[in-house]
A and B are shown apart, each in its own frame.
Chain A
């Protein structure tokens, strides 16, 4: 754990709940926060990380198992039974098996991580997740030295997920990471938001968060984790490999074939929100660029 990622933002940086419920006050809070930052000399990029509101994070979601409208997950995700919950960990691990969510939580160190979230559709948020490092969970199962990749699977429950009636993509939703990406200290299993349990529409009870990749890599409501030695299939890549690569690192220089990725919209700015420039690796270049050294990021997009 020597390489643990150090969070530049602390609990006190989050707008307190009574305040974030009121948008106008949030703006006032941000101004106060800015003054504080100047005093503490935090890096410039951290200043912009004012988290989005609870309402923004929980009403504007892509979770196609509940429908393709951004509001569908908030409307229907309550149908999902999130307790009891087990995660099957199998493949190239020392201790394969069904891990109960509560048992996992007893062994993990939950911490707050305020991360940018960048969707491939060009909208972005800042989310105060809570969760634990994926590496810790993988260590719990014991990764064999032959493993190279980690495959993930979302729950597939037609009776609880109205959206899977339609073959929008192939169900169940699957994702994957290279082992070094999965073991990176920035990669977490998030179990909460704003210090509360994860809302269902955000991927309860536990989901992956890989902040330097487009949002669809951060798979929700994980029921299975499989360690493999070959690159696992991933849902959007199966749908269109030309548009959605396995890596899917946020990159302003590699456009999605159907739209440019140079700019992004920060959710919450209203009708006249100014576009912002997309950041390389979503602003985490310093932490993760070395993982892709020598790789053609256009080819391995």
Chain B
């Protein structure tokens, strides 16, 4: 078991992170192409908007899974976490742009929706929280901010919670998929809480 893990970690160490960026950008471009050519069905705006939002949620789950995977399974994916986070942010930005310009279309309505519709307010809050995270994702910011970087990046947890809440709130009826996302994200966040209260401070370091 530990040999398998060491082998995997060795392989992962040699793997570059750029395919995650390329894959995410490629996927977004492919979705857009499908939308233009009928591949997303007869109502492509809604389909594109939802697909981008869903992609962001998957990246969110992947990003939150990195630390538990290392702690519980010894699998080291930390070097991919920045790429996962930035890809998530890319999908969120595109999701937002499609919503504003292809879906709502009217500036006044966009603003009214943000203020008046709780699920949009929540989604927008998640986006706003992600902006400083994306801006400080470079090596220079990590160095300059020092320990404050880690504290700042705890905003990820709030953004994740708000992101999945946004999905649950916008669904019509008690649909299974948003519930599954909510459960998984809650579980991943709960793992953090348990560690903070139970284990020693030393075990927490390095998240």
Contact = CB atoms under 8 A, between A and B. Distances in A.
Count chain A CB atoms within 10 A of each CB in B42, B113, B170, B172 and give the residue with the most. Answer: B42
A292 interface: no
A285 interface: no
B41 interface: yes
Nearest to A70: B41
Contacts of B47: 70
A131 to B, nearest CB: 23
B6 interface: no
B190 interface: no
B59 interface: no
Interface stretch (B15-23, B80-88, B102-110, B151-159): B102-110
Given A68-B175, A168-B173, A273 B45 contact: yes
B68 interface: no
Interface residues of A, number: 31
Contact of B41 (A71, A168, A258, A265): A71
B6 to A, nearest CB: 42
Contacts, number: 67
B173 A59 contact: no
Interface in B154-188: 169-170, 172-177
A263 B109 contact: yes
B38 to A, nearest CB: 8
Contact of A275 (B41, B46, B105): B105
Given A259-B113, A260-B113, A262-B109, A271 B45 contact: yes
Contact of B174 (A168, A270, A273, A275): A168
A259 B204 CA distance: 42
Given A258-B117, A258-B118, A275-B106, A268 B174 contact: no
Given A166-B174, A272-B102, A259 B42 contact: no
A268 B105 CA distance: 17
Interface in A151-206: 166-169
A55 B42 CA distance: 8
B112 interface: yes
Contacts of B36: 270-271
A112 B48 CA distance: 34
24 contacts: A53-B42, A60-B41, A68-B172, A68-B173, A70-B41, A121-B172, A123-B43, A123-B46, A166-B175, A168-B173, A168-B176, A169-B173, A169-B174, A239-B173, A255-B116, A258-B117, A258-B119, A263-B105, A263-B106, A265-B43, A265-B45, A267-B42, A270-B44, A275-B106
The 3 closest A-B pairs by CB, nearest first: A168-B173, A56-B42, A271-B35
